[in-house]
A and B are shown apart, each in its own frame.
Chain A
Amino acid sequence: MSFVADPAQPLRRGIGRALLRDPMGLAGLVLVATFLAMAVFAPWVAPYDPIALNVKEKFLTPSALHWAGTDHLGRDLLSRIIWGARLALGISMTSVGIAGALGLMLGLVAGYGPRWLDSLLVLVFDSMSSLPMIFFALAVITVLGPGTATLILVIVLVSFPSYARLIRTQTLTLAGADYILAEKAMGAGAGRIIFIHLLPNVVGPLVILICMDIPVVIMLEAGLSYLNLGVKPPSPSWGNILAEGYNSLRQAPHVVIVAGIPLVLATLGFTFLGEGLRDVLDPRGAGRRWG
């Protein structure tokens, strides 16, 4: 996947309108907006306390009182899923945001800085991305111990190399462009070129890549929590709900079935939105849904 910014095509206005015209982008937008709303308004939307125990009402199947049923401790599953949205989106957006900033910085340095630094950084990026993601994540968790902070650090470490590589490639392409040379000839300093000219032009593709990465990150958060190596119980991470439901698979399959739905919908939503955004922001790829 390579999106090289075309300086002749600055970010166009009306992104929203173009996105609304594309059914898949629209579906993505609606799903993402729903989950964002769930995350932000969790305390008001959730009908029950997500960690309040009520053992007398355990394993209730979905009903008018508990729309998604209850789990092995009688906790309301819908409330847990709604609070889980806050965890999933909070963790993934924080970590992807940090990784994006780090990738942007290191990518600009590698692309515009001295050659020896570039070679060194590329070796670091290559080494980090040549580790199979999950094994690297597990190694870091072993050293630091599981928990939310470790999870965020792990996601930052596994995602920033690809962002940095993207920014580096873009910077290298742009740095040779005529208008940058003209700027230099007129005596512009490195700071001006980086912040005024390079930064705005490399950010667009990074946003698309990050948006397409969010489903992976949500999956990683839920997966590691499922393995009991991520967010600690009783926090209602979707992965924790899945793991608890898995343990009562035969008695009460509804727990695990219900817990999988938000994961499927959230990853679908962000993927559709990312695809839609790419089509809108990268006009040459427009209409090539498959690309």
Chain B
Amino acid sequence: MLAYAIRRLGLSLLILIVVMTAMYAMVFLVPGDPASLALGPRATSELKEALRERMGLDQPVLTQIALFFGDVLQGDLGTDVWSKRPVLDQILQVFPNTLILGTVALGWALVMGILLGCAAVVWRDTVIDRLLAVLSVSVISVPSFVVAIYALIIFAVWLNWLPAIGAGEAGDLPSQARALILPAFAVGIGWVGYLARLIRASMLEVMEAPHIRTARAFGMRERDIVFRHTLRVAIVPTISVLAVGFGSILSSAVFVESVFSRPGIGTLITAAVEKRNYPVVMGTVLFMTAFYLMIVTAADLLIARLDPRVRDVLRG
């Protein structure tokens, strides 16, 4: 287990280093230097020179990369070109909003997905099963930001039940919760379908297993077989899917945050991209990649703990 954990962590670290280097190299591969891009065509050469110096662009490339790695290791992701605030501070300020949105979205999707998946198994090969199948595929494919816009029109503009923008008043929990409902609905809805599908498939597989057959032969109630015995085993594969899925949840969150003007990682990075604010964009990408790798690695280690067969096989 320890050997597996070390190899798994090593791989993640290697990937992170490759990603960081690639990120940094990308800035140099393109024509035009970041300073003039950030300042726009009307900047004077003195201004550009000053910014180049501040961004460390006047150093040789290898020194720059070394400095960049050194800074990152010390938790310094650079400073905003415009506001001169440390990038990490800005990220940490809005990250909780995005994390809450993602977690709540995934949470309600998981609960609904399990319920619908179980319903499909209990009523398998009936009209209900078919209906749930079509419904799941449909919600998986509909873009989350379109769902967000429609939800906003119906529940915020027409019915006026929920706030249309923002993340609620700071320190006011009920208002924050109300502001969370529509975005979390939009981000999670696709995952309801996906998880329902996954849980159904994985439960049907487990139901073929000898211990379930035995349970049935002993005359156990179908409800107990489905919920007590099958679901418990069938839920393990969803752990890794959930972890990898957090990446696509974050992607949806970027769009949905923008629809609801909700402060978060998504609104932070899109604003920075528009202004070509390199340090903020690169810092956010790096932060989110590290966060995502951490989750995926943790999930892999968790699965290895739960399922010894996995320990022997290191990804792919």
Contact = CB atoms under 8 A, between A and B. Distances in A.
Contacts of B152: 249
A24 B134 contact: yes
Contacts of A272: 137
B157 A124 contact: no
Please classify the interface of chain A as helix (H, G, I), strand (E, B), loop, or mixed, using the class held by over half of its residues: helix
B146 A242 contact: yes
A167 interface: no
Interface in B212-255: 247-248, 250-251, 254-255
Interface stretch (B61-69, B168-176, B180-188, B286-294): B286-294
Contact of B281 (A142, A165, A264, A289): A142
A131 B19 contact: yes
B15 A144 contact: no
B78 to A, nearest CB: 14
Contact of B247 (A132, A218, A288, A291): A132
Contact of A139 (B18, B281, B292, B296): B281
Nearest to B158: A253
A132 B243 CA distance: 12
Given A142-B278, A272-B137, A290-B133, A135 B157 contact: no
A76 interface: no
Contacts of A246: 149, 259
Given A264-B142, A268-B138, A290-B120, A143 B27 contact: yes
B274 interface: yes
A257 B150 contact: yes
Interface string B132-169: 01101110111101100110110001000000000000
Q: Which of A24, A135, A141, A264 has the most CB of B within 10 A?
A: A135
Nearest to A144: B30
B77 interface: no
Contacts of B100: none
B26 A143 contact: yes
Nearest to A250: B157
B16 to A, nearest CB: 8
A290 B201 contact: yes
A223 interface: yes
B149 A242 contact: yes
A132 B251 contact: yes
Interface residues of B, number: 57
B156 to A, nearest CB: 9
Contacts of B284: 135
Q: Which of A145, A260, A267, A290 has the most CB of B within 10 A?
A: A290
A215 B30 contact: no
Given A139-B281, A229-B273, A260-B150, A271 B15 contact: no
Interface string A100-143: 00000000000000000000001110110011111110111111
A263 to B, nearest CB: 5
Nearest to B269: A138
A38 interface: no
Contacts of B146: 242, 260, 263-264
A107 B20 CA distance: 24
B149 to A, nearest CB: 6
B117 to A, nearest CB: 9
A14 to B, nearest CB: 24
A215 B193 CA distance: 15
B104 interface: no
Q: Which of A132, A215, A267, A271 has the most CB of B within 10 A?
A: A132
A123 B268 CA distance: 30
A219 interface: yes
Given A132-B288, A139-B281, A227 B250 contact: no
Interface string A52-71: 00000000000000000000
Interface of A: 24, 122-124, 126-127, 130-136, 138-145, 165, 215, 218-219, 222-223, 226-229, 242, 246, 249-250, 253, 256-257, 260, 263-264, 267-268, 270-272, 275, 288-291
Interface of B: 11, 14-15, 18-19, 22-23, 26-27, 30, 37, 120, 133-134, 136-138, 140-143, 145-146, 149-150, 152-153, 157, 197, 200-201, 247-248, 250-251, 254-255, 258-259, 269-270, 272-274, 276, 278, 281-282, 284-285, 288-289, 292-293, 296, 315-316
The 8 closest A-B pairs by CB, nearest first: A271-B141, A134-B251, A219-B143, A132-B247, A127-B18, A267-B141, A260-B146, A135-B285
Given A127-B19, A131-B285, A257-B153, 9 more contacts: A132-B248, A132-B251, A135-B250, A135-B251, A139-B26, A215-B141, A222-B143, A226-B255, A246-B259
5 contacts: A131-B285, A135-B250, A256-B153, A264-B146, A290-B197
